[in-house]
Structure 1
Amino acid sequence: MAHSSQPADPAAPAPLSVGDEVELDVTNIAHGGVSVARHGGRVVFVADAIPGERVRARVTEARKKSFARAVTVEVIEASPDRRDHVWPEAALDRAPQDRAGGAEFGHIALPRQRDLKAQVLVDAMQRFGGLDVEELVGLEVEACLGDDESNGLGYRTRVRLHVDPETGAVGPYAARSRRVIPVLSLPLATEGVEAIAPLGDSMPDVAAVDLVAPSADDPRMLLTVGDGRKRAGEDDPVRELVGDRGFLVRAGGFWQVHREAPEVLFTAVRDAVTHLIDEGRFDAAAANLDLYGGAGLLAAAMAEAAGPQVKVTTVEADAGATDDAAENLAELVGARAITARVDRYLADLLSAAPPVRDRLRRGTVVLDPPRSGAGGDVCAQLAGLAPANIVYVACDPVALARDTKTLLAAGYALAGLRAFDLFPHTHHLESVALFTRE
């Protein structure tokens, strides 16, 4: 293996090969949980570092002339925010290929993690969203109840483990790979998940293990056998509790993983709708929509603010989730749950009769798309329908930023933006953006 211990010269060419070890001054944070450094004019995205540190890093990818990827193997000058990793199986003293993935910020103090996430969101909204920095001053990533006291541990109510097809060992994938790493602990998981986790077991006939600990039901294990896509028990109904409101959810269906996340997002959407009501911008009798609606959590939040007579249609491609939404919204006389792809549903609305389109123009749309975002096509459809308000729940800052640019160009204004630390010790965050039609 080649080694280079000389300090990087920013003016010199920087030929790099996989396996090279170089000293790097880490200057910034990038989307995706990696930090940014430069080596001879080339950008290097380096894992397991913190901006402000000097590290020795091993090059893992150097195919691009403009940038390379590396992983920290030694900290030469540590940040005051560096901590012992919360997950021993992901710590720096392990070989990079043997570090468990899923806690890429676990070596950083919680307040600094949130500052870095805020920087990523602000940068994305400027670079990809077209916002001015003045519009983003003071943006903070808000902590969930109890996380500061627990150091951000014990929050995950849903964990997926994988099984090594050769050894049968159970564990998470290694960071940035699909290599299974056997582990002795799951520090981000709730006690209910940890209690049933088959750590140390051999499960040679199983491909994956999903651990689910509902807030109002017993923990359970869902097994994917062989190369099958269906998990045993995934359609079993489980109960979740959000405040004093119960929700029926399929055991294998989508639900937020942080124990507090459903209530945090429920409250954030409820508060956004309440703000619209106070501003005289919300019409409870309009054709209000909850897109990518899942089990109806956010439609229920809209009703919490606007009252049980609110008209709202929740649209979800997964038929099981739609069934759950119908059950969860049954007491709302104006609620409907429809199984459909969002883009196809909106396409039908675009060709609807003028009275339907008018009700849509007076309506409010809540949407919680997948990590890739709503995307240009869906945002263009929304722009064509021109609802009065859009409440956008996003789990990826770059996807949100790109969709923001589309909505701003269509005549919407960003009336509010909040961010939440629903995934401590990872680079992920959740945002809630409020758009109003100008």
Structure 2
Amino acid sequence: MVNPDRRRRSSARRPARAQGAAPRPARPAPAEPRLDGPVLELDVERIAHGGVAVARHEGRVVFVADAIPGERVRARVTDTGKAKFWRAETLEVLDASPDRREHPWAEAGVDRAPEHRAGGAEFGHIAMSRQRALKAEVLVDALARFGGVERAVEVEAVDPALAPGADPELGTGWRTRLRLQVDAEGRVGPYAARSHRVVPVASVPLAVPELAPLAPVDERFAGARSVDLVAPSLGNPWVVVDTGEATRGGRTQRIEEQVGDRVFRLDRGGFWQVHRGAAATLSAAVQDLVHDELFDPRAANHDLYGGVGLLAAAIGDRFGDTVRITSVESDARATEHAGTNLADWVGARAVTGRVDRYLDELAAAASPSERERLRAATIVLDPPRSGAGRQVVERLAALAPRQLVYVACDPVALARDVGIFAEHGYRLDAVRAFDLFPNTHHVEAVARLTAIV
């Protein structure tokens, strides 16, 4: 185990290793997959939300990991708990897709036993262009099934200029944040997929080049829970060992991230997009999707789930220093930073509060003139993976803003909310999607919704 004093020391060449952040609540462990289930030969039909493919056995749906539509595989059933479907892990590829490739992370490859495959790179066996095509299929299907919208969508790669050091063909070298778990014996590694079993690894190829060599994959941390690695765009990277005990200055250590010419302050443990080029990509997408003719800089514009002010700043940078915009975020520390990060705009303010409660209070207290400013508003929202949900969507629709720009990291949650907005007189005008998580099933989308007049 590394000497604790060494963990706290900072230098230009080696980042500080600090015992870390305040304790996080324990998550319930997922049921461990069966290792003795039946082995089936399956013809893989299509991709499903969640990074698994769909096959059928005697009429029953089987969700298969590590397979590609069009392949025939031998797979072991790991979960028969659901009457309508089973889950299975690919053991052998009998008829490979032309898009199958060697996994860029050796410890996640299909040649390993499923229980020993590193999780977190479930699309790594698929060529990059096919990965993006499959993600587009999931988004298009979700919009049709849950949003009632037929829309062709292309998943765009991140501009390589925004992610120096990343390999766009392999999909590696892009993660600026990485969490490694620690098992009861102090060994470090990622969890196996759909498991809380720690898998020892020799490398972390998705991490940015300056972070990957610092991953302590060959060290032991007895008594620790996890190791977080953080590489801000400005300053030295960090390796933070979480012992479950709050340490002075842990989460609240300030770092800086640069997006274009603008610098954002935030806590080291605060939320920031993990792909090196994601913040710039999403800022540009939000700027692009705000409809000029519908935007009023003097209206009651809002950035909901605003974090440290990234997207509010994108609006300000596009429309000038007379913009009025309110960032709403439940994390008080993030709101504090947002206030500093948005100081260039006199009409900008940052409010701490839950979005649903804030909207209730806003509606209750709004005067007739304020309601008029809300109806003229542009609302940007970037909710968590679960989406905004019916309550927030209905509260927003009742305020009747002209346009909403919705940033989503889950296609089903986005589609569901698009469908709810449609119930209240809003249509999906435009949507773009971005591959901000190469070698995983995750995809980010930005959508514009406008009121039907």
Normalised-by-shorter TM-score class: over 0.9
2: CA distance, partners of 1:216 / 1:272: 29
- Whose RCO is larger (CA < 8 A, sep 6+)? 2
Partner of 2:427: 413
Measure the CA separation in 1 of the matches of 2:169 and 2:350. Answer: 38
Shift of 1:121: 0.1
Partner of 1:362: 376
Any idea what SS the aligned residue of 1:326 has?
helix
Q: 1:171 aligns with which of 156, 171, 189?
A: 189
Paired position in structure 2 for 1:140: 154
Distance 2:257 2:81 in 1: 47
Could you say if the C-alpha distance between residues 413 and 342 of structure 1 is closer, same or farther in structure 2, counting changes exceeding 3 Å? same
Residue 194 (structure 1) shift: 1.1
Does the aligned pair in 2 maintain the 1:33–1:104 contact within 8 Å? Answer: yes
Amino acid at match of 1:153: T
Q: Distance in 1 between matches of 2:310 and 2:360?
A: 24
2:3 aligned partner: none
How many Å separate the matches in 2 of 1:158 and 1:77?
36
Match of 1:340 among 353, 361, 365: 353
Residues 130 and 350 of structure 1, relative CA distance in 2, 3 Å threshold:
same
Aligned to 1:349: 362
CA deviation string 1:59-93 (max 9, x = no partner): 00112221100000000000000001111111111
1:149 CA drift (Å): 4.0
Query: Contact conserved, 1:236 with 1:251, CA < 8 A, in 2?
Result: yes
Please list every run of 5 or more consecutive structure 1 residues that lacks an aligned counterpart in the other structure: 1-15
Q: Structure 2: give runs of 5+ residues left out of the alignment.
A: 1-33, 161-165
Amino acid paired to 1:257:
V
Instruction: Confirm or deny: 8 A CA contact 2:224 2:241 kept in the other structure.
Output: yes
Rounded to whole Å, the distance in 2 between the matches of 1:36 and 1:338 is: 44
How far does residue 223 in structure 1 lie from its aligned partner after superposition?
Answer: 2.4
CA–CA separation in structure 2 for the residues paired with 1:284 and 1:76:
59
From 376, 379, 390, the counterpart of 1:376: 390
User: Secondary structure of 1:86's partner?
Assistant: coil
- Give percent identity, aligned residues only: 58
Q: Deviations over 1:90-115 (max 9, x none)?
A: 11111111110000000000000000
Tell whether 2:104 aligns with 1:86.
yes
Q: Could you say which residue in structure 2 is the equivalent of 1:300?
A: 313
Matched, 1:253 2:253: no
Counterpart of 2:149 in structure 1: which amino acid? L
Work out whether 1:210 is the aligned partner of 2:224.
no
Counterpart of 2:317 in 1: which secondary structure? helix
SS in 1 for 2:432: strand
State the SS of the aligned residue for 2:225: strand
Cα distance in 2 for partners of 1:295, 1:424 equals: 25
Q: Tell whether the 8 Å contact from 1:389 to 1:435 is kept in structure 2 after alignment.
A: yes
Q: Which residue of 2 aligns with 1:47?
A: 65
SS in 2 for 1:366: strand
Q: Distance in 1 between matches of 2:149 and 2:92?
A: 38
Offset, 1:339? 0.6
CA distance in 2 between partners of 1:230 and 1:152 (Å): 35
Q: Please identify, of 264-273 and 287-296, the stretch whose mean Cα deviation from structure 2 is larger.
A: 264-273
TM-score, normalised with respect to structure 2: 0.89
What secondary structure is seen at the aligned counterpart in 2 of 1:347? helix
Instruction: Identify which of 152, 155, 170 aligns with 2:171.
Output: 152
Pairwise mapping of residues 223-234 of structure 1 onto structure 2 (< 5 A)? 223-226=241-244, 228=245, 233-234=250-251
1: CA distance, partners of 2:432 / 2:418: 14
1:27 is aligned to 45
- The total of aligned residue pairs comes to 413
Q: Secondary structure at the match of 2:198?
A: coil
* Aligned position for 1:389: 403
1:359 shift after superposition: 1.1
Residue 231 (structure 1) shift: 9.1
Output one character per residue of 1:329-362: Cα deviation in whole Å (capped at 9) or x when no partner. 0111000001101010001012122222221111
CA distance in 1, matches of 2:60, 2:36: 15
- Who is 1:186 aligned against? 204
Distance in 1 separating the partners of 2:154 and 2:56:
28
Contact 1:254 1:294 in 2 (8 A): yes
Q: Is the 8 A contact 1:241 1:247 kept in 2?
A: yes
Q: Are the aligned partners of 1:349 and 1:357 in contact in 2 as well (CA < 8 Å)?
A: no
Residue 284 in structure 1 maps to residue 297 in structure 2: yes
- Asked whether the equivalents of residues 167 and 173 of structure 2 are also in contact (C-alpha less than 8 Å), the reply is no
1:265 matches 2:278: no
Displacement of 1:196: 1.9
Q: Distance in 2 between matches of 1:423 and 1:120?
A: 15
Q: How many Å separate the matches in 2 of 1:338 and 1:49?
A: 46
Q: For the Cα contact (< 8 Å) 1:121–1:397, is it kept in 2?
A: yes
Structure 1 residues 319 and 300, CA gap change in structure 2 (3 angstroms)? same
Q: What do residues 230-262 of structure 1 show as CA deviations (whole Å, max 9, x unaligned)?
A: 796321111111111111111110000000000
Q: Which moved more, 1:217-226 or 1:251-260?
A: 217-226
